[in-house]
Each structure stands twice: as structure tokens, then as C-alpha cells.
Structure 1
Amino acid sequence: MKARSDELQVFVSVIECGSISAAAEQIGQTPSAISRTLSRLESKLDTTLINRTTRRMDLTEEGRFFFERAKQILAQMDELEEHLSLRHQTPSGRLRINAASPFMLHAIVPWIGEFRQLYPEIQLELNTNDLIIDLLEQSTDIAIRIGDLADSTLHARSLGCSPLNILASPEYLARHGTPTDVDSLAGHVLLGFTQTETLNHWPLRHSEGDRLLIQPGLSASSGETLRELALAGEGIVCLSHFMTHEDIRSGRLQVILTEANNGYRQPIHAVYYRNSQLALRIQCFLDFIQKKLAIYSV
């Protein structure tokens, strides 16, 4: 007997989700049904794909080989079905999107009205979280991630990138003077993040490298809070262009130390689990927002 596509899907889901119970929740089956499918698949192939104990699962060498090929086959099947369905379907249903608060406010919310006019049958649910979430636990279709991606079993699509600028309000600079080089930052109040240390590495070339680890004089956990502090004249900040482009255009914030900036751009990705039932809604949103985000990749 030959393996069926639904058996391949169960096997791949178990590996990507990390457990039979998580895969059962994603697929909508019972854990016992998932276990029976795996046993049936191994019987058909006459080989052990997963070494299972009560505490962990490990792919065998044959299982690793089969996993990679099964993913390719399922991806090709999904792509074929999606191309055919695009001719006949209207995007509809609920689409749950998660992003950090600043990105949601400045890079997604301004375009929602236009998106809803184009796709009135898609019901959007916009959630914010400044920490990385589990898409399955949060029932999320798309999560927007800013910065370099860690290794993941999720599918990722690049949506562009956004420069990091060193910024201060005209009021702050009038009171304290404008820094002329990186060393002169030592005499200023620097606004930084409290939790993620990598976000306090500013893209500034100096005598010891091309990134400067700052010691904040005033810290906050949210980029939006730091933006408001900078607008209030409380110090100098390093923020992404997607959330400050209007402040720069209007003169509320000024870009400084441009000659020392190393030009680093924050990657922007959408991550998601591939699911043929959701692919059309996901595809519509990703195509739409990718075009809009191009204005921030200056």
C-alpha cells in the first residue's frame, strides 16, 4: 500500500508541532487518531520514522529523510490547489494578525481601511504583543517579526526592511546641543530598552566596531514609549523608520549622526503555518502589506 497525502500531513504536523497532542489540536483530530495514523504510515513504509517514549520523540535517520521529502510534496500539492482556487474563490473568513504594538500602530493600522475595502469578506483580528508568541497557542494566522529571525519550523516571508535612525526632538537638541560624533553621546541622555539587550546596540561606527552598545539613562520596554519620550524631549533614541517617518517628515524628530550610521536595516518578516484553508486570506494580506511597507524601506 502507498502512503496517502493525509498521512504525510499528520506526520509533518507532528514533527513541526513537536508533539502528538499539539498536532492533534492543529489538525482537529484526537491524539489517539494521530498515533494510529503514524503507526499505519510506518507499517506501509516498513520502517520506523519516530522513536517515541512517554517524554520525547526523536526522528530516526529514515524519518529525517522522509520528513524533508514529505514537506516538499505537501508544499507542491498546496501550491497547485492554491493556484487553481485563486481563479474561483473570494477571500473570506477570519484572519488573525499579531505584531508588536509600534508596528501595528504605525505600519498596519494606517492601511486597514483600504484593505477592508478591497477584501470586505475578510474579518480582521489585530492583536499586539511585544514578545514572540506561539502561533498555535494564540490561534494566530500571521505574526510580524522585526529583526533577524531565529531558527524556526514556521514559514517566513520577507516583507522588506526598515532603517534604524538616531533621533532627538528639536527641543532636546536646542537645550543640550547636537552631538557631532559618537563620542559626544556620552554627554547626553540616551533612551533605550529595558529587556532586549540587542535592541540597545545602535548602528553607529566607532573606534571599536560598527555597533555601539549604549547604557540608557532612561529605559522602557516598548518602542512606542521610547518614541513618546523622545517627542517629549527627554533624550536621544534609536528607532526604526517605520514608526518615526511621520515624525521626521513633520520635524517633530530630527535624524542625527547620519555620517556615523552603518546603514543597518531591520528585516521585517511575516511568519505563519502553512494551511491550505487559510492560504488565500494570508496571501491577500501579505501581498497587500508588502507593497505598503515599501515606503518605509528608504
Structure 2
Amino acid sequence: MGQIEDLRMFVTVVDSGGIARAADVLGIAKSAVSRRLSQLEDRYGMRLIDRQPRTWEVTTAGQELYQRASLMVADAEDLDADFMHAAHSLRGPLRVSVAREFGLSFLKPTLFAFLKAHPQIDMTLDFDDRMADLENENYDLGVRIASDDLDGLVHLPLGVTRHGLFASPGYAAEHGLPETLSDLPKHALLHYGSARRARWEFLREGKTQAVTFQPALNSNNGPFLLDAAAQGLGIIKLPDFMVAEARRAGVVIPVLAQSEMPDFRIQVVYPAGRRINKRMRALIDALQAGCRVLVT
């Protein structure tokens, strides 16, 4: 057996959580997996998995080998997928972490079209606003919205999103609207987050001006906040891609439209050491085409 096959076996053992389950996945005898694992430990001169009658634990050295071997095995599988099927449709796994609200409210048509065009790609999409560790959590790509570049990642631009303040016509009729930034804390403000004292930043003559306030409502769900504003519960700060349809329908109207907020860049990101395979490149191209309207 070659080195890549031995490493693939080791990765399968760790992923499966045991030799017997790995043998089933690989379709070989349990004794063969056990023997090859011992040979791998002999080659490197260290214990990779502590295997006792009531103990099964990957050692520190084994964890390091697993992280590095996972990348090597994935690269080898990508090479096979890219060149063995070069004349055919793209196939293989693709795991992507997507900023939740942007993915669900804007990217769905692009993602659905991509999946229809490449039915043999096994896609895993995680919609989450947390900053996932793309390398250690084995994501191929991430779609992120941030004001600055993220360290250790390659950044490919998709576009820019701008935030604004909005309220329903009913709220404006009942409570009036703020005329200046200093008026904002006098109103019911709906905040994306969980802060007791929230902070919204604005740009004024090239400098940042912050407004701090006690939210009337906190939530980590943008569509819920938009619905709350539509019901007249207060003023929201949300990105343009989330409020575009509600604005066109007259459900919400701009508040302090002359007040400028910092732009946020929408980017495809991946670890700096990651090799781009054809599946990743195809999705990047699709995302960039789908987000052309956001490019400024």
C-alpha cells in the first residue's frame, strides 16, 4: 500500500471512531486495518491511537497527523476528481460556510442554480453567522460579510453591502421620526444582537460617530427584526439586501437617509494554504456572477 492509502486508512479510522467501523467503511478485514495502523505507528515511531480494552483515544501526535493527513487525502481525491472526470460533469464533496441572513435572503437562487447545474457535487451548506474556523472544521469555502479582511484567509470580492435605518409608515405616523442622530435613543430601537447597551456607528465628515442606546428589542434573527419593524415596533438597522423587497412594497421607509454607515465587504474566503479544485472554482465563479449587482 502507498503512503496516501495508509493515510486515508488512518483518517477513516479517526473519522469512524474505531477500527471495526473503519473496516466496514473501507470494505476490508478488521485485522488488516489493525495491522496497517500498527505499521503506520512503526513508520513514524510514535503511538497515534491509544488502544486499550476500555480506552480508544487519538494521541496528540495522532491528532496532528490527522489534521495534516486529512488535507493530503482531500487533495489526492480532488486530483482524481479533477482529472479522471475532466471531460465529464463535476463531482465530489463541497463544504461551504455561508453568512446566514445573506445566504438565505440573497444567495438562494444562485445556490439552487449551481446545484441543478452540478447534480453530482455533494454539497454541504452551513448557514451560520459565527466565524467558523474554515481550516480546522474542514470547510472548502466561506462566504463572509466583514468590514476588514480576516487573517489567514484568501479573500475574493463578491460585492459591498450598506446598512440603513428603517421603520414602518405606521410607526412614523404614531411616533414621528428622528431628525438627527442624537434623537435616535429617544425612539424604540430594534437591535441585531444581545447587548444591554448597543452601539450603532455612523460616518460623519470621514469620522466615526457612535450612538449608544438600550434596545427595545434584541434578536439574532434579521427577518424577525424586519417583521417587528413592519408591525410598528420600532426602528431597525439592517443591510440593503435584507430590506430591498420590503422597501419596494412600502412596508418600511428609510429613516435618517442622509446618515451614512460604514460599508461591509462581502467575500468568498478560504485558507491561504488551500489548493483550489475545480468544484471550488466553479462555485466561486457562480457566486461572483450571482453577486454582480452588489459590486460597486
TM (normalized to structure 2)?
Answer: 0.62
The aligned amino acid for 2:285 is D
From the superposition, tell whether residues 40 and 74 of structure 1 become closer, same or farther in structure 2 (CA, over 3 Å): same
Change (3 A) 1:157 1:214: same
Deviation for aligned residue 1:51? 7.2
Matched, 1:215 2:214: yes
Please report how far the alpha carbon of residue 163 of structure 1 lies from its aligned counterpart in structure 2 after TM superposition.
2.6
Pairing 1:21–2:20 present: no
Q: Aligned-pair distance for 1:168? A: 0.8
Preserved CA contact (<8 Å) 1:3 1:44: no
Cα distance in 2 for partners of 1:56, 1:95 equals: 26
Residue 44 (structure 1) aligns with = 43
Cα distance change, pair 122–70 in 1 and its aligned pair in 2 (3 A) = closer
- Name the structure 1 match of 2:240: 241
TM-score scaled by length of structure 1: 0.62
The Cα of 1:181 is off from its aligned counterpart by: 4.0
Q: Is the Cα contact below 8 Å between 1:101 and 1:128 reproduced in 2?
A: yes
Report the equivalent of 1:57: 59
Cα RMSD (Å): 5.5
Amino acid at match of 1:89: H
1:234 maps to amino acid = L
- Give the deviation of 1:212 after TM superposition: 5.1
What SS does the aligned partner of 1:204 have? strand
Q: Specify the structure having the higher radius of gyration (Cα).
A: 2
Residue pair 1:94, 1:123 contacting (<8 A) in 2 also? yes
Using the alignment, how far apart are the partners of 1:286 and 1:225 within structure 2?
Answer: 30
Q: Secondary structure at the match of 2:241?
A: helix
Structure 1 alignment gaps of length 5 or more: none
- Look up the match of 2:226: 227
Q: Structure 1 72/282 Cα, relative in aligned 2: closer, same or farther at 3 Å?
A: closer
Distance in 2 between residues matched to 1:35 and 1:149, nearest whole Å: 45
| Cα displacement (A) at 1:214 | 4.4
* Cα offsets for 1:205-248 (capped at 9, x unmatched): 59x96665543102334111111222333322122333223445
* Selected match of 2:285 from 283, 287, 296: 287
Distance of aligned partners of 1:244 and 1:88 in 2 relative to their CA distance in 1, 3 Å threshold: same
SS of residue paired to 2:109: helix
Query: Counterparts of 2:249 and 2:165 in 1: how far apart (Å)?
Result: 13
CA distance in 2, matches of 1:77, 1:122: 17
**Alpha carbons of 1:237 and 1:20: their partners in 2 closer, same or farther (altered >3 Å)?**
same
Residues 1:88 and 2:90 aligned together:
no
Q: Give the structure with the higher percent strand.
A: 2
**Counterpart position of 1:186:** 185
Count of residue pairs the alignment pairs up: 279
| Corresponding residue number in structure 1 for 2:254 | 254
Provide the identity percentage: 24
1:5 aligns with 2:1: no
CA distance in 2, matches of 1:72, 1:191: 43
**Structure 1, 113-122 or 283-292: larger mean CA deviation:** 113-122
